[in-house]
Amino acid sequence: MEERTPYALTPPPYPYPPPYMVATDEDEISLYELWLVIWRGKWFIIFITLLATIVAATVAIKLPNIYRAEVVLEPVEEEKGGGLAALAGQFGGLASLAGVDLGGSGGSAHATNVLQTRQFMVQFIEDNQLKPHLFPEHWDSEQQQWLVKEPGVIGQGIVALKVALMGEESVKPVNVGSESLAEGEPTLQQSYEIFAKWVQVNEDKKSGLIRVAVEGEDPRLTAVWANGLIDKLREVLREETMTRARENISYLEQELARTTIEESRQMLFSLMRGHIKNLTLASASDNFAFQVIDPAVIPEKKSKPKRSLIVVLGTMLGGMAALFILFIRNAVRNIRAKPKEALTDAESS
């Protein structure tokens, strides 16, 4: 009778750890296999990359040239030791109690805030009649009128239904607030939303310089609009300062007529002199509030689009997309092939 070695003393047929914990060759990613996948799909990669390049080049060519004109401003500081700035330090508390505003033009922060307000931009659009330039695709330059898009079958049905239910008044041109619009004419709000994207205001905190840039498709108009914005801003700030100074002077005159205290009268006289000086500077100074250091000139080169960059990025994205598709397709193919191989091995054993 044969002696059997106890199971506990039988050496294992394989070293530890067990095989299910050891990585097999099937789970490893071989660079050679990746290269084979790329080589087999080289024509697919070339086709997708070339297609992406053509699409990117077409988009880049169709994008319009955008030009940028820039104005550089330097805020004009009030004279040290004089004017309303000095009076604010002496009589600021008393003037506040009396209801007198000692504020000047508001400084560079106020100027940039006014420049970017909706009210200011809408007024600039109206004064310079910018709508045809902001919506050239809706404007007939030969007939000097807005293009009216004819409604399709569905649109005609909607118009007929509105007329039947609400009368002919429902299809007449709409007046938005006090704005009377011709048929097909965009609103001022729509104009503002476009123009606000074209205007950029940046202030250098260290130097105090303000850069106002205007972008557009017409290089001449961008320079005209940039300089025009500055002229309009100075006009608004000048009018604002003069109005406030006149109101304060009128109020101080009334206070002078009522008070008999000598100290109070001296304070009121000093405040009046400051406001009169401010009024004179606002009405006479050509560089009120700020000085134009570098006016806008007609740009000779476009600022965007960067067509070469668009084509390069399109080519790179196309090549990456082609590789991604190839690897995913190869991985799916391998996953589907594993059950078939397992079934074949089972049948052969």
Q: In this structure, is residue 322 part of a structural domain?
A: yes
**Model confidence at 135: pLDDT above 70:** yes
Q: Assess whether 210 and 321 both reside in one domain.
A: no
Task: Give the range with max mean pLDDT: 97-101, 153-157, 310-314.
Answer: 310-314
Q: In this structure, is residue 160 part of a structural domain?
A: no
Q: Assess whether 250 and 210 both reside in one domain.
A: yes
Lowest mean pLDDT among 26-35, 38-47, 125-134, 238-247: 26-35
CA atoms of 306 and 224, how far apart (whole Å)? 24
Q: Which residue has the higher pLDDT, 228 or 107?
A: 228
Q: In this structure, is residue 300 part of a structural domain?
A: no
Determine the residue type at 151.
Answer: P
Of the candidates 95, 28, 32, 13, the residue with the CA atom closest to the CA atom of residue 270: 95
Q: Assess whether 40 and 83 both reside in one domain.
A: no
Lowest mean pLDDT among 30-44, 122-136, 169-183: 169-183
Structural contact between residues 87 and 266, judged by C-beta atoms closer than 8 angstroms: no
Q: Assess whether 325 and 242 both reside in one domain.
A: no
CA atoms of 267 and 253, how far apart (whole Å)? 12
Q: In this structure, is residue 71 part of a structural domain?
A: yes
Quick one: pLDDT band at residue 159, thresholds 50, 70, 90?
low
What's the whole-model pTM score? Answer: 0.69
Percent of the chain at pLDDT exceeding 70: 71
Q: Assess whether 200 and 57 both reside in one domain.
A: no
pLDDT score recorded for residue 127: 93
**Model confidence at 161: pLDDT above 70:** no
Tokens of 242: 């003069």
Q: Which residues make Cβ contacts (< 8 Å) with residue 176, sequence separation at least 6? A: 187, 188, 189
Of the candidates 214, 206, 202, 211, the residue with the CA atom closest to the CA atom of residue 292: 211
**Model confidence at 79: pLDDT above 50:** no
Quick one: pLDDT band at residue 25, thresholds 50, 70, 90?
low
User: What three-state secondary structure class fits 66?
Assistant: strand
Q: In this structure, is residue 258 part of a structural domain?
A: yes
**Model confidence at 340: pLDDT above 70:** no
Q: Assess whether 191 and 260 both reside in one domain.
A: yes
pLDDT score recorded for residue 31: 82
**Model confidence at 277: pLDDT above 60:** yes
Structural contact between residues 81 and 236, judged by C-beta atoms closer than 8 angstroms: no
- pLDDT average, residue stretch 3-20: 53
Structural contact between residues 289 and 108, judged by C-beta atoms closer than 8 angstroms: no
Structural contact between residues 138 and 190, judged by C-beta atoms closer than 8 angstroms: no
pLDDT score recorded for residue 189: 92
Q: Assess whether 235 and 267 both reside in one domain.
A: yes
**Model confidence at 294: pLDDT above 80:** yes
Q: In this structure, is residue 1 part of a structural domain?
A: no
Q: Which residue has the higher pLDDT, 270 or 102?
A: 270
Q: In this structure, is residue 244 part of a structural domain?
A: yes
Lowest mean pLDDT among 59-73, 206-220, 279-293: 279-293
Provide the strand spans (E) within 85-165.
139-140, 145-146
Q: Assess whether 54 and 194 both reside in one domain.
A: no
Q: What is the count of structural domains for the chain? A: 2
Dihedral of CA atoms 135, 136, 139, 144 in degrees, nearest 10, equals 120
pLDDT score recorded for residue 30: 76
For residue 172, CA distances in Å to 121, 169, 191, 345 come to: 28, 5, 21, 80
**Model confidence at 148: pLDDT above 50:** yes
**Model confidence at 80: pLDDT above 50:** no
Q: Assess whether 229 and 324 both reside in one domain.
A: no
pLDDT score recorded for residue 175: 52
Q: Assess whether 253 and 333 both reside in one domain.
A: no
Give the β-pairing of 139-140 and 145-146: antiparallel
- Burial of 343 by CB count in 10 Å (0-12 exposed, 13-18 middle, 19+ buried)? exposed
**Which residues span the domain enclosing 231?**
67-135+186-294
For residue 340, CA distances in Å to 26, 29, 125, 343 come to: 15, 21, 72, 5
Task: Taking the CA atoms of 122, 128, 131 and 136 in sequence, report the sign of the dihedral they define.
Answer: negative
Q: Assess whether 203 and 310 both reside in one domain.
A: no
Ramachandran region of residue 291, left (φ > 0), alpha (ψ -120 to 50) or beta?
beta
Q: In this structure, is residue 231 part of a structural domain?
A: yes
Q: Which residue has the higher pLDDT, 290 or 315?
A: 315
Quick one: pLDDT band at residue 160, thresholds 50, 70, 90?
low
Q: Is the peptide bond before 305 cis (omega within 30 degrees of 0)?
A: yes
Cβ count within 10 A of residue 317: 16
- pLDDT average, residue stretch 95-112: 61
Give the residues across from 73 on adjacent strands: 210, 292
pLDDT score recorded for residue 192: 94
Structural contact between residues 266 and 161, judged by C-beta atoms closer than 8 angstroms: no
**Model confidence at 230: pLDDT above 90:** yes
Q: Which residue has the higher pLDDT, 154 or 296?
A: 296
Of the candidates 74, 59, 308, the residue with the CA atom closest to the CA atom of residue 210: 74
- Burial of 259 by CB count in 10 Å (0-12 exposed, 13-18 middle, 19+ buried)? middle
Q: Assess whether 42 and 126 both reside in one domain.
A: no
DSSP codes of every residue in 151-165:
P-HHHHHHHHHHHHH
